[in-house]
Amino acid sequence: IYVWDMDETLILLKSLLNGTYAEPFNGSKDIQKGIELGKCWEKHILHVCDSFFFYEQIEDFNEPFLDSLAEYDDGRDLSDYDFNKDGFDDANKKKLAYRYRVIAEKYAQGLHDVLDEEATKLWDDVYNLTDSYTDGWLSSARSILQQKRVNVLVTSGALVPSLVKCLLFRLNDLIIYSSWDVGKPQCFAWIKARFPKTRFCVIGNGIEECQAAEAMNWPFLEIDMRPHRFPGLSMRTIKLYTEVVY
């Protein structure tokens, strides 16, 4: 099982917004162009979150994974349910579970059924511009994920915006854990319990996932922002790192 840090490993956003992605290129990358691309992504992410994923209602009620509230969901038919008039508050776990059930369904379906033609074209244009600006970082990451059957993503961000990021960055229907409230060691423990008797490899760029991997005795492969990763990372390299430990 490959456990990926999502932020600044598979998906670039913060480093575009603050210009740090372009810094190692010593002037050959236009920093302002990266910042503008990052702002476009922020706008798209917030729009999709608020329009289709109840984010205005549940922003303060982050969950670590999509089915963490399954025990509160009674399976009610929600086809005619009015989410704007059900009196939702943080004390009602059942109503929160309803929202997360719909979020899970929309996440599995993807965005092509909910975005209109104009929004889809804009989304595609921003993706292609960003992939070009980053020398294929996004498409390379997507290609590597497609080579393996099971990939698990761990994000330090809130769950719902992270789900939307995955959809917008074309990393569809992947298992995601949010360490926002619980930390990455707890997420790694859940992943280990979910996939018993399995070998793991962690891939990321931060100290927290590195330390969590070490605590689990899992190999850790660091992704840095210098021009050789992504692209440049291959499954052969990942397997070599894994074999050193196992």
Check whether 7 is labelled as a binding-site residue: yes
Nearest-angstrom CA–CA distance, 195 and 173: 18
Q: Hey, which residues are catalytic here? A: 5, 7
**Sheet order of strands, 175-178 included:** 175-178, 151-155, 2-5, 201-204, 220-222
Phi and psi of 148, rounded to 5°?
A: -115, 145
Burial class (CB in 10 A: 0-12, 13-18, 19+), 79: exposed
Nearest-angstrom CA–CA distance, 177 and 157: 9
Check whether 5 is labelled as a binding-site residue: yes
| Cβ-Cβ contacts under 8 Å for 80 (sequence gap 6 or more) | none
Token match 């926002």: residue? 180
Which residues define the annotated binding site for Mg(2+)?
Answer: 5, 7
Which residues define the annotated binding site?
Answer: 5, 7
